[in-house]
Amino acid sequence: MGSKSVLLASASLVMGSMLANASAAEPEACKTVRMADPGWTDITATNAFAGVLLNALGYEQKVAALSVPITYVGVKKEQIDVFLGNWMPAQKGLVEPILKEGAMEVVRANLPGAKFTLAVPGYVADGGVKSFADLAKYADKFDRKIYGIESGSPANQNIKKMIDAKSYGLDGWTLVESSEQSMLSQVARKEKGKDWIVFLAWEPHQMNTKFHINYLDGDKDYFGPNFGSATVNTVSRKGYAAQCPNVGKLFSQLEFTVEMENKAITEVLDQKVDAKTAALHQMKANPKVLDTWLAGVKTYSGEDGLAAVKKVLALN
């Protein structure tokens, strides 16, 4: 073989190698990332953060509006790839059987330092309700009602178990099930008239700035101690990170803060800003988080992921 032929062959090998490196290291099925939103504003916000990143990296995010129980069925049946809303310990009873089956994987805690438990307005706390044990003393003022979120949610199931067991003296109490927004509308109406109400509350959420909320203490069996101290996990279908290692790496590094989520949620609810636009604003205001989120992450086509996201965010 002549020197010219050798050079051509070498060039061909180099070109082939470059094309291979530039091509996606993941199967075509990884390009679409299937996620779920149970209708909670905080998960809408975190899905938006993920969506901005995925789109900038050349992936497509597909979010299905599903209740939490149906979401976990979807994860188990490999119809949902990633869910950012595994609130623990509130969802413990729902996810433990799936984890034991090996049908779901916990990727990481994406929001440590969250809260999730029952709460009352500040004037109710001032009236003597500081813990779960105080509720029964003022049953008539509450009309023996606890306001929850959508039917079938793990949180509502916890409240039902608590009432059925007559824990904390909640004999004869009922759960009022509705959507997140309907529940908060009730809180706003009750607060306006200084009427008493006990309801499901969590942080991060705009409710923490809109209302003067007091989280109740003294529970260890249903929402956990320390005023419902909670952790939100990212979970995925079985084998997702092995099949889609690049996007799996992204989700293994994605961690939010209460402050970032609260600001994004407030923009969405108060200023009627699109969730992805609100997420983009927060990433521009906190660009250093991108270094951690995108360390070692590539675009779907194999290029530097951090550079690609910064370009989309106009941070270069």
The whole-model pTM stands at 0.81
Backbone angles phi, psi at 32, to 5 degrees: -100, 120
- pLDDT tens track for 234-289: 999 999 999 999 999 999 999 999 989 989 998 998 889 999 999 999 999 999 99
- pLDDT tens track for 172-189: 999 999 999 999 999 999
Q: Residues 250, 303: one domain?
A: yes
- pLDDT tens track for 69-105: 999 999 999 999 999 999 998 899 899 999 999 999 9
The pLDDT assigned to 12 comes to: 40
The CA distances from residue 20 to 26, 38, 161, 250, in Å, are 12, 39, 56, 22
Q: Residues 145, 213: one domain?
A: yes
CATH number, domain of 103, equals 3.40.190.10
Name the E strands within the chain: 32-37, 60-65, 82-88, 104-121, 145-147, 174-176, 199-203, 213-215, 229-237
Confidence of residue 20 (pLDDT cuts 50, 70, 90): very low
Q: How far apart are CA 174 and CA 268, in angstroms?
A: 32
- Residue 225, classed as helix, strand or coil, is helix
32-37 and 60-65 beta bridge pairing = parallel
Domain that holds residue 170: 115-229
Report the amino acid identity of residue 183. Answer: M
Q: Residues 137, 68: one domain?
A: no
The pLDDT assigned to 316 comes to: 58
In a domain, 13, yes or no: no
- pLDDT tens track for 27-60: 999 999 999 999 999 999 999 999 999 999 999 9
Cis peptide before 97 (omega within 30 of 0): no
| Residue among 71, 30, 14, 66 nearest 301 (CA) | 30
Q: Residues 126, 224: one domain?
A: yes
The pLDDT assigned to 227 comes to: 86
Helix (H) / strand (E) containing 240: helix 240-243
